[in-house]
Amino acid sequence: MNKKEKNNQDSYINKYLIDSFNKLGKPQADLVIELGKSQPYVSALVNGKKKVGKEVAKQLHELYGFDEGLILTGEYKKSTDEQFKEQNTFENLPINKQLEILHKENKALKREIDRMSIMMEISFSTLMAHFDIDSPEEKHKENEPKSKSKAN
């Protein structure tokens, strides 16, 4: 393979990666977590500026259904560009892969909710202390109507 053919093949692989990541529609922060790679590496990968090794190609195939052979060799299993157009979407992945992806996303979202809850609690307690405001529970107890007892 001469240099020109190699460059064409590399640009073809890069285009495949760019299009595949765009179709995937995941933020780079999620990809960093799921792939276990650094942010600069994932950024270069998503933008088609990084060559992909066997390990990462396998991860991309297992996690997102990317064509491992195409990433490594630049050749489709099919002889036409149809496969490129028919990339695996989430719905086309095996159910166990879908569940795995959803489980990882769910865990990440739960961590984010917990983090945000803690930050809100800290912020509100600081505000309440600064302005000497009672907590809503204490204020609510003061405003409760007193029960009227009938004394006959």
Distance CA 144, CA 57 (A): 64
Q: What string of H, E and C letters represents the secondary structure of the chain?
A: CCHHHHHHHHHHHHHHHHHHHHHHCCCHHHHHHHHCCCHHHHHHHHCCCCCCCHHHHHHHHHHHCCCHHHHHHCCCCCCCCHHHHCCCCHHHCCHHHHHHHHHHHHHHHHHHHHHHHHHHHHHHHHHHHHCCCCCHHHHHHHCCCCCCCCCC
Radius of gyration of the chain (CA): 27
Per-residue pLDDT at 66 exceeds 70: yes
The larger pLDDT score, comparing residue 137 to residue 68, is at: 68
Q: Over the stretch 3-13, which tens digit does the pLDDT of each residue have?
A: 665 555 667 78
Per domain, the residue ranges of the chain are: 3-88, 94-143
Q: Over the stretch 70-106, which tens digit does the pLDDT of each residue have?
A: 888 776 554 445 555 555 577 778 889 889 999 999 9
The larger pLDDT score, comparing residue 1 to residue 110, is at: 110
19 alpha carbon, distance to own chain's centre: 17
Q: Taking residues 55-69, what's their average pLDDT?
A: 86
Per-residue pLDDT at 110 exceeds 90: yes
Q: Can you give the pLDDT at residue 107? A: 95
The larger pLDDT score, comparing residue 21 to residue 111, is at: 111
Q: Can you give the pLDDT at residue 101? A: 92
Note whether 11 and 47 are within 8 A (CB). Answer: no
Q: Over the stretch 126-135, which tens digit does the pLDDT of each residue have?
A: 888 888 776 6
The model's pTM: 0.45
Domain 3-88 has CATH 3.90.79.10: no
